[in-house]
């Protein structure tokens, strides 16, 4: 398996191995890495996979993407990542052994639980594998890395829990001082591991992100301090997410020929991109139902063919904050497939995007062929979210988080008779107690390990929102 860039127009495109792209970000031409071709899984083989445990299946799927790590080593990494003990935080502990259990609500409609990991959001599914892969690859090369990131919540905590205590890895995570919930702060700042550094900057999330960009653009500093990232464009994260689509599509269907639809609350298009790839590989997946919140750049594209990233004031904070994006960083991967994997078209389209523009495919054959990819989309507002949380609670006795509610709302709008449909649970309600309170007038239950975490002692450095203070902090701690 070799990887190519979505924008490589050279006559002899460069082809990389998995471990060559594992620690990097964008390709040198600004594109994203994708497999040269998607591995194909025959129906018979898929059928045999129905018997496998999550870790066994993860090994089968990932070894199609990763052929430059010896099988026994990859197996050990996967086994260490997907243990029941790491994924038992959620409800229904008797299902914890399944890692991503399906909870059927009524015939044909279920919830795919993806949020039973240590930070109660689906990002743990991929991030924990990334932590183990990074540690392994760095050790082989005798290198170390300083991961620098900015977070407004979910991603930062998933990254910190995945990287804590890992050899050769330090994390410097910037967050906006005083702007996260007490629970989110406690989740991150209570980590006492020496390799985790929380930096609260006096500013908003965009200030934190600008600092990360400025530091990463200082190439001398970046190479001297071996600065790396774990952002959502990382291919290994997408690959890890393919596994649960395969797992759930096999769990929901009984015979060859049956298909299941997935409803996916979407922001950066990372989660649903993995669903698209699982389907391209042959997993029995019907429709992919994409849901956005009020920040509806993706819903707009799937309805109209226009992709128009929003400018700063047009993107706003909602009650499903992990989907508040102005542009969808993984979307380029899907568009590469949509335009017949022609890198020159992707390069032209993203030439517009990178200059702050937009593109319109509505009058092209590509858009005419979009239905072949079987996506549908819709959006959800705060009022929809609240109503859906209430409805699902009343009807099924199930508490869902605001992001999952966005997916559920759009799922129900697109449900047809006889459809098998799974809504993805991307976070547990415990993370978003305020919105649950507004919807239901009561607080969500917390997993026992999270009881009272607001009282644990916290480790965080508060810095001014300027590049120099952050660089100085890194210089001081990169040698610990
Ligand atoms: C990150 C996140 C999303 C969006 O996922 P993408 O891969 O960015 O589309 C949805 N819900 C929750 C809870 C998240 O943390």
Q: pLDDT by residue (tens digit) across 294-314?
A: 999 999 999 999 999 998 778
Pocket probe mutation, ligand 1, options 161, 331, 426, max atoms within 8 Å of Cβ: 426
Q: For 450-478, what is each residue's pLDDT tens digit?
A: 889 999 999 999 999 999 999 999 999 98
For residues 153 and 205, what is the distance between their CA atoms, to the nearest angstrom?
Answer: 10
pLDDT at 24: 81
Q: Is 360 exposed, middle or buried (CB count within 10 Å of its CB: 0-12, 13-18, 19+)? A: middle
Backbone φ and ψ for 373, nearest 5 degrees, come out as -85, -5
Confidence of residue 18 (pLDDT cuts 50, 70, 90): very high
The answer on pLDDT for 218 being more than 60 is yes
| Average confidence (pLDDT) over 392-407 | 98
Q: What is the DSSP string of 121-167?
A: BTHHHHHHHHHHHHHHHHHHHT--EEEEEE-SSHHHHHHHHHHTT-T
| Cα 121-124-129 angle, rounded to 5 deg | 165
Atom number of ligand 1 nearest to Cα 270: 7
Cβ-count burial 36-56 (b if 16+ within 10 Å, e if not): eebeebeeeebeebeebebbe
The residues with which 109 forms a beta bridge, in sequence order, are 106, 421
pLDDT at 328 over 60: yes
Torsion region of 153: left, alpha or beta (phi above 0 gives left; psi -120 to 50 gives alpha)? left
Q: How far is CA 283 from CA 199, 261, 323, 420, in A?
A: 42, 11, 26, 14
Per-residue confidence (pLDDT) for residue 93, from 0 to 100: 52
Q: Percentage of the chain with pLDDT > 70?
A: 98
DSSP letters for 405-452: HHHHHHHHHT--TT-EEEEEE-B-GGGGHHHHHHHHSSPPP--GGGTT
Please state the atom number of ligand 1 nearest to the C-alpha of residue 431: 13
| Pocket of ligand 1 contains residue 266 by CB under 6 Å | yes
Minimum-distance ligand 1 atom for the alpha carbon of 241: 7
Q: What is the DSSP letter of 371?
A: G
Q: What dihedral do alpha carbons 375, 353, 14, 212 form, nearest 10°? A: -100
**Residue 115 contacts residue 426 (beta carbons within 8 Å):** yes
According to DSSP, the residues that pair with 358 across neighbouring strands are none
What is the C-alpha end-to-end distance of the chain, expressed in Å? 38
| pLDDT of 92 strictly over 60 | no
Say what the pLDDT of residue 480 is.
62
Q: Is 121 in the pocket of ligand 1 (CB under 6 A)?
A: yes
Residue 90's pLDDT is: 52
Atom 2, ligand 1: residue with shortest CA distance: 322
Of 106, 5, 57, 109, the residue nearest 344 (C-alpha): 5
Token pair of 367 as six digits: 């858009």
Domain 102-118+235-440: state its class.
Answer: alpha beta
Going from the Cα of 12 to the center of ligand 1, the distance in angstroms, rounded, reads: 36
pLDDT at residue number 84: 87
Average pLDDT over residues 309-331: 88
CA of 353 to the centre of ligand 1 (A): 22
Choice from 268, 298, 319, 408 to test ligand 1 binding pocket (greatest atom count within 8 A of CB): 268
Residues 65-87: tens digit of each pLDDT? 999 999 999 999 999 999 988 88
Decide whether any atom of ligand 1 lies within 6 Å of the 429 Cβ.
Answer: no
Q: Nearest Cα to 146, choosing from 478, 369, 408, 479?
A: 478
Task: Please tell me if the CB atom of residue 269 comes closer than 6 angstroms to any atom of ligand 1.
Answer: yes
H or E stretch at 74: helix 71-81
At 195 the pLDDT is 97
Q: Give the β-pairing of 102-106 and 33-35.
A: unpaired
* Whole-structure pTM value: 0.96
Q: Where are the domains of the chain?
A: 102-118+235-440
| DSSP codes of every residue in 276-324 | HHHHHHT--EEEEEEEE-S--HHHHHHHHSEE-PPPGGGS---SSGGG-
pLDDT at 275: 98
Catalytic residues: 123
Does ligand 1 come within 6 angstroms of the Cβ of 119? no
What is the per-residue pLDDT for 94?
63
Nearest by Cα to 405 from 448, 438, 447, 371 = 438
Beta strands of 13-100 (E only): which ranges? Answer: 33-35
Cα separation of 300 and 282, whole Å? 28
At residue 447 the predicted structure's pLDDT band, cuts being 50, 70 and 90, is confident
Residues 6+ apart with CB under 8 A from 247: 54, 57, 99, 100
């Amino acid at each position: 398996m070799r990887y190519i860039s979505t924008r490589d127009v050279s006559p002899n495109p460069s082809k990389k191995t998995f471990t060559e792209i594992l620690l990097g970000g964008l390709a040198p031409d600004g594109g994203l890495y994708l497999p040269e071709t998607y591995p194909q899984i025959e129906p018979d083989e898929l059928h045999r996979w129905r018997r496998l445990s999550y870790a066994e299946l993860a090994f089968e799927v990932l070894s199609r993407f990763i052929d430059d790590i010896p099988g026994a080593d990859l197996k050990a990494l996967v086994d260490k990542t997907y243990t029941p003990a790491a994924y038992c935080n959620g409800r229904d502990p008797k299902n914890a052994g399944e890692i991503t259990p399906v909870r059927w609500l009524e015939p044909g409609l279920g919830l795919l639980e993806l949020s039973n990991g240590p930070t109660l959001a689906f990002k743990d599914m991929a991030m924990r594998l990334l932590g183990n892969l990074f540690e392994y690859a760095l050790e082989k090369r005798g290198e170390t890395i300083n991961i620098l990131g900015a977070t407004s919540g979910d991603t930062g905590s998933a990254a910190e829990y995945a990287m804590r205590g890992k050899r050769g890895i330090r994390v410097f995570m910037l967050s906006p001082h005083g702007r996260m919930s007490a629970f989110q702060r406690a989740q991150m700042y209570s980590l006492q591991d020496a390799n985790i550094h929380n930096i609260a900057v006096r500013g908003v999330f965009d200030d934190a992100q600008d600092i990360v960009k400025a530091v990463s653009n200082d190439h001398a500093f970046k190479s001297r301090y071996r600065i790396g990232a774990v952002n959502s464009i990382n291919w290994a994260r997408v690959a890890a997410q393919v596994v649960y689509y395969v797992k759930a599509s096999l769990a929901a269907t009984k015979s060859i020929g049956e298909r299941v639809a997935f409803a996916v609350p979407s922001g950066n298009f990372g989660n649903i991109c993995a669903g698209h790839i699982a389907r391209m590989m042959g997993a029995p997946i019907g429709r992919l139902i994409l849901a956005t919140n009020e920040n509806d750049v993706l819903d707009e594209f799937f309805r109209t063919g226009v992709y128009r990233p929003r400018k700063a004031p047009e993107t706003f904070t909602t009650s499903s904050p992990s989907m508040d994006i102005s542009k969808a960083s993984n979307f380029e991967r899907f568009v590469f497939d949509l335009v017949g994997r022609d890198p020159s078209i992707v390069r032209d389209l993203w030439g517009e995007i990178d200059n702050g523009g937009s593109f319109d495919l509505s009058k092209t054959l590509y858009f005419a062929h979009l239905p072949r990819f079987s996506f549908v989309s819709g959006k959800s507002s705060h009022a929809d979210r609240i109503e859906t949380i209430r409805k699902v609670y009343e009807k099924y006795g199930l508490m869902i988080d605001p992001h999952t509610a966005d997916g559920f709302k759009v799922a129900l709008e697109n449900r047809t008779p006889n459809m098998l449909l799974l809504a993805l649970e991307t976070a547990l309600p415990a993370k978003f107690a305020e919105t649950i309170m507004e919807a239901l007038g009561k607080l969500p239950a917390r997993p026992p390990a999270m009881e009272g975490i607001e009282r644990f002692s916290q480790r965080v450095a508060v810095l001014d929102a300027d590049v120099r203070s952050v660089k100085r902090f890194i210089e001081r701690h990169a040698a610990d």
